[in-house]
Chains A and B, each alone.
Chain A
Amino acid sequence: MGLIEKQNREMKERARENFKPYTEKEKAALAAKYTPEQIAAIEAGEAAIDPVDMNEGGVIRSDWGTLDYLDDFSTMRTMVDRNYFNQDGPKDPNARMMTEQESMEANHDFLKKIYEENPLPEDYNPENEEHVAKLRPNRKDLLRSFDEVPSSMGTHGPIKEPSLMAPGIPIDIESELDQSEVVKKKVETQEEEDTRDPDGVYDRFRKQTGLTLDEILKLNCKILVQHNVTNQTRLGKIQSVYALAISGDGDGRLGIGEAKGQEPLDAMNNAKMQAMKSMQPIPRYEERTIFGDVEGKVSAVKVQLMSRPPGFGLRCQHLIFEMARAAGLQDLAARVPRSRNKMNTVKAAYQALMKQRIPDQIARGRGKKLVDVRKVYYGGRN
């Protein structure tokens, strides 16, 4: 009905806007640099690539080998890019540390300048608090001197080195020292008690991890193993309860925790808490399965985990199924060929999941280039 043709035409126009052909001016500039044969090759290359492909091709990577920040590397960002200090001009070959004398003089000059700019009032009274507060140089000036007074000597006098603070961190000495601000902040951070957690069980955990109570309550926690254990002493048998819990956020993080206690409830709660605290990210391929086959072994238990295609499901025994579900895996097969002790099965499966080798890392180790064929085939959108 002409709908698709229209859509295609619009898509082409959009692509053409982003990837314009060379203008006459640009062609002239190219002709100055390249031979006619090279120009012909460039034009053939340009003609061979469809602008629609170029427009659709670029995707934001989300796989395991990506950086944890968004960047197209077109500009230098001082916070993350290395070699920042080497960027600003040539270095003085005669630069050296200041001697004690020179350093003292430099500090003296700095403080003296501040003193001269802020002279004492005529009616200065050391008992008047307002006067004392206005006295310069004060503690702030002293702190600023650490950052601003040069400590190296070059060919033409003192050199100001780059700040030792990480570049980009604002040096705001004023607000750091202002006590009233600090007190205000402290008051602000005191939260009200939540009805869902009246005993404050998660208070410490929240502070340690920065998770909100909603996020904590949403975690998938489960007791997988629970049994009685006995300690034989000369006074008799002492019974206690052992529990092993797993915890996952359904999005690639999984932890296991163990606890023992006199009361089953205590042991279970402690185990869950331990599991939440020990949550770690596990590598996932396409956020659905694992990277290739892995094996974990704890004691006599051997667990083999195998990656599977999309839509396969979690075809594994119940303990590993629960772990995979908590971690957010959707396609997985597993085999436990030897002993099937429950506790060790869980531990071995966890070990196997953590032991995965990431293709990106392998490729870097071997110095090879590696391409995920699935991603290339589906244009990075699968």
Chain B
Amino acid sequence: MSLVHLANVCSHLQNASKARLGLTSIPSTNMLLTLSLALQTSGFLSSVTRGGLTPPRLDTLSSYVPEPVTQENVSTRRLWLGLKYYNNEAVLSEMSMISKPTKRIWMDADGLARIVRGKEAGFVKGLTKPGESMFVTTDKGILEARECVERRVGGMLLCRVL
């Protein structure tokens, strides 16, 4: 599981929200899909849709059924993400990696609890800015750090989002 795609996605989402895009696409991988869904449940994204090289129609975004993935079209699959804006500001404005492709960082629930409370743990800075979230990949799927603490699971730290 390479993190290179995730690094690109972090930068891309920042750029897209700075450019005030309503819809943007990222590569379609299982990790990026679960991360996007986690971002959506946290309220950072308005929609997550699987599609091809052209964006799905906006009016059918909620009832859209993606075409099945086959060997022919697998290389052209993209995830289409709807970005959110409120009060003339992007809801997702900053997104940066914590684990890097060359240096993964794992943390247990106790360490995550420190981070969630705004303290530093294992050279990872705490979540001190209002509304800052961190996403962790665990064996229960990709979760928000606060949920990890609640469910007492640890995992690999993916990215922090603001």
**Residues of A participating in the B interface, judged by any CB pair closer than 8 Å:** 291-294, 306-307, 356-359, 361-368
**Which of B8-16, B86-94, B103-111 contacts the other chain?**
B86-94
CA distance A362 to B85 in the complex (A): 11
B29 CB–A CB distance under 8 Å:
no
B138 at the interface (CB under 8 A from A): no
Docked complex Cα distance between A40 and B129 (Å): 46
Indicate whether A357 sits within 8 Å of B86 (C-beta atoms), given known contacts A366-B42, A366-B43, A366-B44. no
Chain B at the A interface: mostly helix, strand, loop or mixed? loop
Are A362 and B130 closer than 8 Å at their CB atoms?
yes
Whether the Cβ atoms of A293 and B43 lie closer than 8 Å is: no
A365 to B17 Cα, complex, angstroms: 14
A368 to chain B, nearest CB (A): 5
* In the bound complex, CA of A28 to CA of B84 (Å): 50
Residues of B within 8 A of A357 (CB): 129-131
A306: which B residues are within 8 A, CB to CB? Answer: 128
A358 surroundings in chain B (CB, below 8 A) = 130
By the criterion CB–CB under 8 Å, are A365 and B89 in contact?
yes
Please state if A366 and B130 are interface contacts (CB–CB under 8 Å): no
> B129, A366: Cβ atoms under 8 Å?
no
Report which B residues bind A (CB closer than 8 A): 42-44, 84-87, 89, 91, 128-132
Q: Which of A293, A294, A361, A365 contacts B84 (CB 8 A)?
A: A365
Whether A365 lies near B86 (C-beta < 8 A) is yes
> Which residue from chain B places its CB closest to the CB of A307 in the assembled complex?
B128
Which of chain B's residues has its CB closest to A368's CB? B43
**Max chain B Cβ within 10 angstroms of own Cβ: one of A293, A358, A368:** A293
Q: 29 A-B contacts, Cβ less than 8 Å apart?
A: A291-B130, A292-B128, A292-B129, A292-B131, A293-B128, A294-B129, A306-B128, A307-B128, A357-B129, A357-B130, A357-B131, A358-B130, A359-B130, A359-B131, A361-B86, A362-B130, A362-B131, A364-B86, A365-B43, A365-B84, A365-B85, A365-B86, A365-B89, A366-B42, A366-B84, A366-B91, A367-B43, A368-B42, A368-B43
B96 to chain A, nearest CB (A): 14
Most chain A CB within 10 A, of B42, B86, B87, B132, is at B86
CB distance from B81 to the nearest CB of A (A): 15
**Chain B residues with CB under 8 A of A359:** 130-131
A294 CA to B131 CA, complexed, in Å: 12
A365–B92 Cα distance when bound, in Å, is 9
The distance in angstroms between the C-alpha atoms of A365 and B89, with both chains bound, is: 9
**Bound-complex Cα distance A363 to B43 (A):** 9
Give the 6 A-B CB pairs with smallest separation, nearest first. Answer: A366-B43, A365-B86, A362-B131, A292-B130, A293-B128, A365-B91
**CB neighbours of A361 from chain B (8 A):** 86-87
Q: How far is the CA of A72 from the CA of B8 in the complex (A)?
A: 49
Q: Which of B42, B85, B128, B130 has the most CB of A within 10 A?
A: B130
Least Cβ–Cβ distance between B33 and chain A, in angstroms: 20
- Say how far B65's CB is from chain A's closest CB, in angstroms: 25
Q: How far is the CB of B108 from chain A (nearest CB, A)?
A: 24
In the complex, the chain A residue whose C-beta lies closest to that of B91 is A365
- Once the chains are docked, how many angstroms separate the CA of A362 from the CA of B84? 12
Which of A356, A365, A367 counts the most chain B CB atoms within 10 A?
Answer: A365
Contacts of B89 in A (CB 8 A): 365
B residues in contact with A294, CB < 8 Å? 129
Nearest CB of A to B140, in Å: 21
Starting from the known contacts A357-B129, A357-B130, 16 additional A-B residue pairs (CB-CB under 8 Å) come to A292-B128, A292-B129, A292-B130, A292-B132, A293-B129, A359-B130, A361-B86, A364-B86, A365-B84, A365-B86, A365-B89, A366-B42, A366-B43, A366-B84, A366-B91, A368-B43
Q: What residues of chain B lie closer than 8 Å to A367, measured between beta carbons?
A: 43
| Shortest distance from the beta carbon of A355 to any chain B beta carbon, whole Å | 11
In angstroms, how far is the closest chain B Cβ from the Cβ of A237? 44
Q: How many Å lie between the Cα of A312 and that of B131 in the bound state?
A: 23
Give the complex CA separation of A292 and B85 in angstroms.
21
When distances are taken between beta carbons in the complex, the residues of chain A under 8 Å from B130 are 291-292, 356-359, 362
Q: Determine the chain B residues whose CB is within 8 A of the CB of A362 once the complex forms.
A: 130-131
B59 to chain A, nearest CB (A): 21
Nearest CB of B to A165, in Å:
30
What's the nearest-Cβ distance from chain A to residue B102, in Å? 26
